[in-house]
Amino acid sequence: MLDIKFIRQNTEAVKQAIKNKGLALDLDRLLKVDEERRSLIARSEAIRAEQKKTTDRERAKALKEEFKALELQLKIAAEEYDRLMDQVPTIPSPDTPIGRDADENIEVYRWGDTPEFDFKPKDHIELGTSLDIIDFDRGVKTAGFRGYYLKNQGAQLAMALMMFAFNKMVEKGYKPMIPPTLIGEQFLYGSGYFKESKYNPSIDEIYRVESSEEGEPKKYLVGTAEPSLLAYHSGEVLKERDLPIKFAGFSQCYRSEIGSYGKDTKGIYRVHEFMKVEQVVISKADIPESDSLQKEMVDITKEIHEELELPYRVIQICTGDLSAGKYKQFDYEVWLPGMNRWAETGSASNFLDWQARRLDIKYVDADGERKFAYLLNNTALPTPRPIIGILENFQTKKGTVKIPKALQKYMGGAKEIEK
């Protein structure tokens, strides 16, 4: 959500952002509805003022009827205004590539050599089964499609990844948090995880939980710790001297994956639940500072991947693949030999004040002025795809898997995964 005053003053720039992001929003219609809404508000206030002054009973009665009619018109205009405002995008950063879709994203960094094997390598499904560390059959029996059990050293590997990433965040000055994974809809709307103003199960990859008590507010399972971490300061006015605020949240994550029907159906590449360490930053409304903070987060995740010895690359997301609220985004992709492809392991996003306006997160600057904060988030590390990366990249001819040195202390000192 943008400031309507900003939209009025920068109409052409917003229209260009709508075009570049491939959105179907009629900005002229929004501006017309805004004008109608303001006119109705002004007329309503004028009638209220006259009602307080008039002593003529007939005139008072007429004013009352006119006010009721205006109230209805204003309600209709306000609903359309809110619906259209929800669709207004953040203008992308000047260095964001102009492109139609994901095919036009740009690789900006690459690290590590993709492995060459002198034997026929296995994919993570074969390795997980032969090493008895992933049970797919009982996972499906228990949880249905995309269900899985991590077991033995597979379970240790997942926890090792999380502890490694979580401790790395603490070392870098991020406050460790284990936030709720069951949250209210206002926080998913506020952070942009609803594609519309309300939850739509046909397009939103979010699970809604049925309440056992009548009238209880609806709750949802998060797909990342980001909404819960952002909710922590929602509705609050912070002090500039306390910014930036840096959180690192560990959570279980749940995603319905409704948009990926038929895609990547085997293994743990695309699953309904997993674990992740997420970073969230609340900064003052300063673009250079938020750019610097985003770079800091990207650099930390690069460091994590390199300490895990995983071949990876960083992709800058183009306008057509950038969601409405985002100013700038980078994705991380790890090389998976078994799938012969790069696979996304996370992303770093800068929303400027788009989320803060929805979540009402403000701060008071040095001059006493209240401003909406800038909000950023970044995936430090999830579990499934890095697990795939480790199994497939570090497999040996004898069928074992070498454990990256950075994880060995979390796995009892073991240097290999073996049955």
- Please give the positions annotated as active site: 255, 270, 344, 347, 385
Query: Which strands, in side-by-side order, build the sheet including 219-221?
Result: 182-184, 219-221, 207-209
Say if CB 330 and CB 346 are below 8 A apart.
no
**The amino acid at 184:** G
| Strand 273-283 relative to strand 312-316, pairing | unpaired
CA distance linking residue 84 with residue 233, whole number of Å:
26
| Separation between Cα atoms, residue 380 and residue 292, nearest integer Å | 17
Contact 243, 292 (CB under 8 A): no
CA dihedral (105, 17, 373, 178) in degrees, to 10, reads: -40
Q: Which residue has the tokens 């309507």?
A: 4
Question: How many residues does the structure list for the chain?
Answer: 419
CA angle at 87 for the pair 83 and 89, rounded to the nearest 5°: 150
Supply angle C-alpha 350, 355, 356, rounded to 5.
105
Number of alpha helices (DSSP H) and beta strands (DSSP E) in the chain: 13, 18
Half-sphere exposure of 216 (CA within 13 A, CB side): 10
Bridge-based pairing state of the strands 207-209 and 219-221 = antiparallel
